[in-house]
Amino acid sequence: MMANSEQTRPSSQSALAVHNEPARWYAAHTQPHREVRAKDQLENQGYEVFLPRRLKTVRHARKLTNVPAPFFPRYLFIRLNLTQHRWRSVNGTFGVTSLVMQGELPHPVPRGVVEAMIASVDAKGFLYLQETLQPGTQVRLAAGPFSEQLGTLDRLDDSGRVRVLLEIMGGTVPVHIERKFVTAA
């Protein structure tokens, strides 16, 4: 009889330890172009949700406009404690296809990844990852009339602007642009 009670003690302590585990971030796969709807629906259910966004340059009818777009199309992050939350209900939420799974349980995002992204969000809710750029490196423009063009970084200002040299029609053309619209190639 004592052997049975001793055998149940460690398992009840380990169950208590799992029950007290803090909430982790998990990735949810969403339906196409339904990230915002899924985020709103999950927040209405009381979940903490993070949808990283960026400014995307769209060309239409000879006009360039910057529109908000998900940083990771068709994905968002949700904070869950698997022992306390009804995580299976997330899969039935409007806009959500399913949680990213590993076997029969959701697979957590490595610790610190989502937290670092949240710390990199500006006041308007857009994610800007800081890169260490050096003059002479190849960069890609992310916005403006030359978006998606490759160039060479020429100069960095303290005011948050950069000068990029673009190869256009056989010549080098300097372009001045905000630092946040330049990424490493």
pLDDT tens readout for residues 4-26: 444 444 444 434 444 557 899 99
On average, the pLDDT of the chain sits at 84
**One fold for 2-119 and 138-184:** no
Predicted TM-score of the model (pTM) = 0.65
* Per-domain boundaries in the chain: 2-119, 138-184
In the three-class reduction of DSSP (H, G, I as helix; E, B as strand; rest coil), residue 45 is classed as: coil
Beta strands in 32-170 (DSSP E): 48-50, 53-60, 63-70, 75-80, 96-99, 101-102, 105-106, 138-141, 150-156, 161-168
pLDDT tens readout for residues 105-147: 999 999 999 998 898 888 888 887 666 678 888 888 888 888 8
Q: Do residues 100 and 26 make contact, with C-beta atoms less than 8 angstroms apart? A: yes
- Domain 138-184: CATH architecture, name and number where available: Roll (2.30)
Q: Which CATH superfamily is domain 2-119 in?
A: NusG, N-terminal domain (3.30.70.940)
Average pLDDT over every residue of 56-62 = 85
Q: Which pLDDT score, from 0 to 100, does residue 5 have?
A: 44
Q: Which pLDDT score, from 0 to 100, does residue 8 have?
A: 41
Q: Which residues contact 70 (CB under 8 A, 6 or more apart)?
A: 35, 51, 52, 53, 54, 76
Report whether pLDDT(100) > 90: yes
Report whether pLDDT(168) > 50: yes
Average pLDDT over every residue of 151-173 = 85
